[in-house]
Amino acid sequence: MKFYNLLIKYRLVLGILLILGGAVTNYFSSFWPAFPLYFIGLILIAGHFFFGPLRLIQEHMESGNMEEAQKVLNSIKYPNLLYKPIRSVYYTLSGNIAMMKEDFDGAEKMMKKGLDLGMPMKEAEGASLLQMGMISMQRNDNKQAENYIRQAIRKGLPDKENQSAAYLQMCSLMMNKREFRAAKDFFRKAKALKPTTPQIVDQIKQIEKYISRIPG
């Protein structure tokens, strides 16, 4: 795995060196002895621009090292050359990092680009729509937030934590609209999933203190 990550990290440089080595071999010998060097070099260079180094981001995201994750994204100079599904992931990851930095305008711009390209999996699309909904809630655009979150629920979300978060956001939106019956229904769905994320658990405890007292 480490060897593969190193190959991804340095394949552009390695590809260029192989092309240069092929040129030297071609000059002093002939084309056919140089052909393997040309061929492998071109594959490595094409892989760098077509697939990018996004695999390297995984370990940084898992460890919470956003600075290193951002460096990997910044190393992609021509995102439009990326294979379409990978380009979608690139914009989605860029949006996630922007959201962590509370750059909501940048996050929305990146995530919209990812959604427009189409997600590799429906659950990934649902997760992006949920985040778009949360961005809209930060801007107090509750109508747009509800639209995004309902779409996220319909598309499907990757795990019970995301599902619980979506139901709790809908609960909050319904309470703001004074649609208390719907709010209680979404709260019950969120609680029934038994999430373990501390923030979601705390939010459930806070809502539970007063939701039973509201009408509906």
Q: What confidence tens digit (pLDDT) does each residue in 91-142 have?
A: 999 998 898 888 989 999 999 999 998 876 777 889 999 999 999 998 899 9
The first and second tokens of residue 111, run together, are 């995530």
Q: Report the interhelical angle of 180-192 vs 198-211 (nearest 10°).
A: 140
Let me know if residue 167 belongs to a domain.
no
The DSSP result for 146-198, as a single string, is HHHHHHHHHH--SSHHHHHHHHHHHHHHHHHTT-HHHHHHHHHHHHHT----H
Q: How many domains does the structure of the chain reveal?
A: 1
Let me know if residue 19 belongs to a domain.
yes
Contact 52, 76 (CB under 8 A): yes
What value does the mean pLDDT of the chain take? 91
Q: What's the whole-number mean pLDDT along residues 167-175?
A: 95
Let me know if residue 180 belongs to a domain.
no
Let me know if residue 206 belongs to a domain.
no
Q: What confidence tens digit (pLDDT) does each residue in 200-215 have?
A: 999 999 998 888 888 7
The per-residue pLDDT for 101 is: 85
Let me know if residue 168 belongs to a domain.
no
Q: Count Cα atoms within 13 angstroms, Cβ side, for 6.
A: 3
Let me know if residue 15 belongs to a domain.
yes
How many Å apart are CA 51 and CA 166, to the nearest integer? Answer: 32
- For the entire predicted model, the pTM comes to 0.81
Let me know if residue 12 belongs to a domain.
yes
Q: Give the model's confidence band at 161: pLDDT under 50 very low, under 70 low, under 90 confident, else very high.
A: very high
Give the domain extent around 27: 1-50
Q: Is the pLDDT of residue 1 over 70?
A: no
Let me know if residue 10 belongs to a domain.
yes
Q: What confidence tens digit (pLDDT) does each residue in 25-76 have?
A: 999 999 999 999 999 999 999 999 999 998 888 778 777 788 888 999 999 9
Q: Is the pLDDT of residue 182 over 90?
A: yes
The per-residue pLDDT for 216 is: 63
